[in-house]
Structure 1
Amino acid sequence: MAEKTFKIIKTEFVKDKHFDSLEELTRELHDYVHWFNHIRIHGTLGYVSPIDYKLEHLKKVV
């Protein structure tokens, strides 16, 4: 799982980018992770975001 996550970060986030400072990298990585978890839809999750998928799953469990 970790290898797949790092591959996605390298191919979608880091590829062909240059960061002028650690602060810029940190800010943009935070924005990317937020987008990835809250906005980007995932085919393996039924074309919903991971957060939406998790919330829907929790409704069924509780």
Structure 2
Amino acid sequence: MSLSNWKRNKTDITSAIIEIFHKSRQNYGTRKIKQELQQLRKTVSRRRICRIMKAQGLVSSYTVAQFKPHSNGSNESEQTNELNRDF
């Protein structure tokens, strides 16, 4: 494969990844994009897809960290020991 052919193939893959990402409403990550590319008969590794997405600034909405509430600690109630019981 000549150098110009390789560059053309690289731009085709990049444009396909961008198109798939935007059609999925910015939800698809590397795994789903790889599946979509396989349906188009294009073989690309997930690592390469990840590098292209990072270079293009594409971040899946599911990979963004989301707030998750955490408990304050143990289940100990804050009741006083009014009956002087031994625990």
TM-score normalized by the length of structure 1 = 0.33
Q: Which has the higher contact order (CA 8 A, sep 6+)?
A: 2
